[in-house]
Structure 1
Amino acid sequence: MCPHHQWRPTLQTNKLTDTAIRKAKNGDKSVKMADGGGLYLELHPNGSRYWRMKYRFGGVEKRLAFGVYPEVTLADARRKRDDARRLLANDADPGEQLKAAKVAVQASAEAAQMIAKGLPVPGTFEFVAREWLTTVHDHKVSAGHAGRTKTRLEQNIFPWLGARPISEIEAPELLQALRRVEARGAIETAHRIKDSCAQVFRYGIACGVCTRNPAADLKDALKPVPTRHLAAIVDPIGTGKLLRDIAEYQGHPVVCAALKLSALLLLRPGELRHLEWAWIDFDSATLTVPSQLMKRTKADKQDGPPHIVPLARQAINILRELQALTGGEGRRLVFPSPQSRSRCISDNAVRSALRRMGYGNDDMTAHGFRAMARTLIAERLGVLPEVIEAQLAHAVADPLGRAYNRTQFLDQRRDMMGRWADYLDRLRQGAEVVPIDRRATS
């Protein structure tokens, strides 16, 4: 006998007959007609008749409700009683089993309704992923970054795994979905999607909807991301020729200025083209780029310091000339679009100018000016790497793991930017290649 209940079979079961039930009269008080084995029919004064089963489990007397007679026949009630007795014999509480079954039926009905409406079902990968996107990811990264992550999941994962319970997804299933992305040649995208899925699974573990992260098992399952560097000219002779081509370029004056300042300011292309006149202080010869425009985490964009760019004499001269064209009352942007002064030049403006000058995608890019400066300043001017990285707005950790503050090394960076501008002048003028300067700014 199971230790959790004290049910004992009666000496006789199946006492009732349909004839006896039909002939029974409802009285002024509730009456019970026993069938045996705990099953009985309860007759109420109002005429209703309910099937009930009494049993004990864990030392507690309990009841089961089997429905209303005659909708539930005598035979149906007996089958339910026998099913309950089998559960008791296996040390299971039939009342709890019934509750669980009702919950499952309700959950199934709700899931069907959500599917019909095109909504993800709770507990599925898509439901957890969308919750992670809105609860965590959107608050950590920029809107553009969050949008790209959402699109990648919608296009590459949800169609295959979105409706699957997240707790049942195994590494081979996830790998199969990622292989489809890999087969398109989008190796880097496949890795990014895997990383996003890993974060979804970690969120699911924290929320208690799954217990493991199958993406962690795919560390070496995808093809490695090919090493790819944006094209850049990093030798003095090639740089001199590029600078002369820029000086002779007959394009739009705003684009010409953007080309020249790309080499002098060391900003990312997106940061450069969004520059505003209010950020430039000609008296102190500095450009202060708001933190929100920089390539940083969302928290750093909101709370981080602005990025300060010391302006060399050559940069100031170019900006003064450009100010006469795009500055003035009510004019905000340094590089407004020719089509509308309320928008900056497109991200393709500098690249297109380079193409018209004969520099293909494999020769030089707008972003390549930063690589040019990083290489030549280190090799030819002997500037300390941390000073260069600070000017490039790279967060570089020191031996203790702390990131360099981007406002540090301002004096050294001011000296570096002046020397860099002078060096570019010499290269543009075709001067003999300057030997490596062993001096380093301190």
Structure 2
Amino acid sequence: MLTDTQIKKAKAQEKAYKLFDSGGLFLFVSTAGGKMWRMKYRFSDKEKLLSIGTYPEMSLVDARAARDQAKQVLKSGRDPNALKKIEKISAKASQADTFEVLAREWHELQKPQWVEIHAQDVLDSLEKEVFPYLGSLAMNDITPANVLAVIRIMEKRDAKEKARRVRQRISAVFVYAISSGRANTDPAAIVQGAMAPRKRGKQPAVVGLEEARQMLKAVEEEPAHPVTKLAHRLLAITAARPGTLATTPWHEFNDLGHNLPIWEIPAARMKLRKEYKDDPDRDHLIPLPWQAIEIIETVRSITGKGPFVFPNARHAHKAMSPNAIGYMLNRAGYHHRHVPHGWRSTFSTVMNTLYRDDEAIIELMLAHVPKNKVKAAYDRAEHIDRRVELSQIWANLILEGAPSPKELLDRPRKILKKAA
């Protein structure tokens, strides 16, 4: 049997040679003086050689322990060399299975069932909020504390709802990794109970008619781009979803010159499940009162040559961000009191108070389908005459005493900072 002294004294010779220990273990000494532990064994009636490690990185004691482990593998009927290759491949695969790699793989798998804007939002949130912190880590190295640290960063900047969505997406990636054998646990599920409590209730909204009129007046006196003010006024009148209104192309308003002007929003632009996006029966019809037509014709004089009714202030070929209206509301003193989406609550509350018998029609005007609706699709023109009447009543109520849209063009504008 070998001793440490023999191993240390072994020097390079003209030919490589072996120093044998026991149980098939020996030290191979190369012509350059390198010393490598190897083990000779038989498997399936064939003589084989197992490379164990190098000296002095692996001591004599460690080499013998590795030999004994290999013999245990042989006793179980397995080939130590084959097992070593499998472990090497597994280790390499484990290094490649970082959170970012698995997250992108999961995203590609889910993307076909999502609408494009949602798919992009999911990927953007991961790229911005998660990959910089967890992206390079192996799935099994990520702890609940790691995930919670990412969540806390969002919570500290008051993005609590986004933090909850991101946690759900992190958890979905781990569930996918577990199901495909590349993770053992879901640390994102564990941290759910440690998150900051969510705000209960609907998005902040002014729901009193007189207060809503005062808000509209305050916003329109705020220095801002006239297109933003006109978009806000049309949003108030139509109670459309802010994202839908902000991305409205001009061709949706090009055929309004008749007795019953209707804004027809294609299902593809509505908040619907993907399988309904191509269903024309789910197009949404918004009757336009005469005040809405005035707004549209006024804004046409400014942006009518471009693709969008309400373009971005800096890039005319892009649609305005719904955030532009939100920032204007904030500057007017309505931060945490009213958001662009809040006009839908304002319309619903006021009109349901005044016209209780029309509750179902008011819900239909908001593109809300009753939960107990049996039909897969609904008649998009249902109660259209009454919807026209209610739309005009609402416009008359909310715009009582308001200046004409053209007067908004001459009001002070917010000075845009030049891009660096």
TM-score of Structure 1 vs Structure 2, range by shorter chain: 0.5 to 0.7
User: How big is the shift at 1:154?
Assistant: 4.3
One of 99, 121, 139 as aligned partner of 1:166: 139
2:7 equivalent in structure 1: none
Compare 212-221 and 122-131 and name the one that shifted more. Answer: 212-221
**Structure 2 spans left out of the alignment, 5+ residues:** 3-12, 14-19, 27-37, 402-420
* Contact residue 308 and residue 319 of structure 2 kept, 8 A: yes
Give the structure 2 partner of residue 196 of structure 1: 169
The answer on whether the counterparts of 2:267 and 2:276 sit within 8 Å (CA) in structure 1 is yes
Distance change >3 Å, CA 94–CA 122, structure 1 → 2: farther
Q: State the alpha-carbon separation in 1 of the partners of residues 372 and 174 from structure 2.
A: 32
CA distance in 2, matches of 1:228, 1:394: 18
| Partner in structure 2 of residue 115 of structure 1 | none
**RMSD of Structure 2 on Structure 1 (CA):** 5.2
Matches within 5 A, 1:123-134: 123-134=97-108
From 172, 179, 200, the counterpart of 1:227? 200
For 1:3-402, what aligned pairs fall within 5 Å after superposition?
53-55=40-42, 60-66=44-50, 84=67, 87-88=70-71, 92=75, 96-105=79-88, 121-136=95-110, 138-167=111-140, 169-227=142-200, 229-241=202-214, 254-255=227-228, 257-280=230-253, 281-282=255-256, 283=258, 285-301=261-277, 307-315=283-291, 317-318=293-294, 321-322=297-298, 325=301, 332-336=307-311, 342-345=317-320, 347=322, 350=325, 360-382=334-356, 384-394=358-368, 397-398=371-372
Q: Match of 1:165, as an amino acid? A: A
Q: Which amino acid aligns with 2:287?
A: L
Looking at both structures, which has the greater relative contact order when contacts are Cα pairs under 8 Å and sequence separation is at least 6? Answer: 2
Q: 1:131 to 1:184 in 2, by over 3 A?
A: same
- What is the correspondence of 1:403-442 to structure 2 with a 5 Å cutoff? 405=377, 407-408=378-379, 410-426=381-397, 428-429=399-400
Query: In 2 relative to 1, CA 326–210 (structure 1 residues): closer, same or farther, beyond 3 Å?
Result: same
Aligned-pair identity in percent equals 23
Larger Rg: 1
Counterpart of 2:190 in structure 1: which amino acid? Answer: D
* d(CA) in 2 for partners of 1:196, 1:65: 48
Deviation at 1:418, TM superposition (A): 2.0
Q: What TM-score comes out, normalization by structure 2 length?
A: 0.67
Instruction: Report the CA distance shift for 1:95/1:215 in structure 2 as closer, same or farther (over 3 A).
Output: same
User: In 1, Cα distance between the equivalents of 2:68 and 2:321?
Assistant: 76
Q: Unaligned stretches of 5+ in structure 1?
A: 1-12, 15-21, 23-33, 41-50, 112-119, 431-442
User: 2:411 — aligned with what?
Assistant: none
Whether the 8 Å CA contact 2:41–2:49 is kept in 1: the answer is no
Cα distance 1:92–1:305, how it changes in 2: closer, same or farther (>3 A)? farther
One-letter amino acid of the counterpart of residue 287, structure 1: W
In structure 2, C-alpha distance between the alignment counterparts of 1:307 and 1:300, rounded to whole Å:
10
Helix, strand or coil at the partner of 1:411: coil
TM-score by length of 1: 0.64
Q: Which AA in structure 2 matches 1:214?
A: P
| Secondary structure, counterpart of 1:390 in structure 2 | helix
Whole-Å separation in 2 of the counterparts to 1:333 and 1:251 = 19
Q: How many residue pairs are counted as aligned between the two chains?
A: 380
Q: Give the Cα separation in 2 of the matches to 1:224 and 1:154.
A: 25
Equivalents in 2 of 1:180, 1:242: separation in Å?
Answer: 33
Instruction: Give, in angstroms, the shift of residue 415 of structure 1.
Output: 1.2
Quote the Cα distance in structure 1 between the aligned partners of 2:63 and 2:327: 78
Question: Structure 1's 264 and 134: CA in aligned 2 closer, same or farther, altered over 3 A?
Answer: same
- Displacement of 1:223 in angstroms is 2.0
Using the TM superposition, give the Cα deviation of residue 315 of structure 1 relative to its aligned residue in structure 2, in angstroms.
Answer: 4.8
SS in 1 for 2:334: coil
Matches of 2:153 and 2:231, distance apart in 1: 41
- Structure 1 pair 98–382 and aligned structure 2 pair: CA distance change class (3 A): same
Cα separation, 1, equivalents of 2:133 and 2:321 = 37
Report the AA paired with residue 240 of structure 2: L
Moved more, 265-274 or 391-400: 391-400
After TM superposition, the structure 1 stretch with the greater mean CA deviation from structure 2, 384-393 or 197-206, is 384-393
**8 A contact 1:198–1:214 mirrored in 2:** yes
Provide the rounded CA distance (Å) in 1 between the counterparts of 2:130 and 2:314. Answer: 40
The one-letter amino acid paired with 2:195 is L
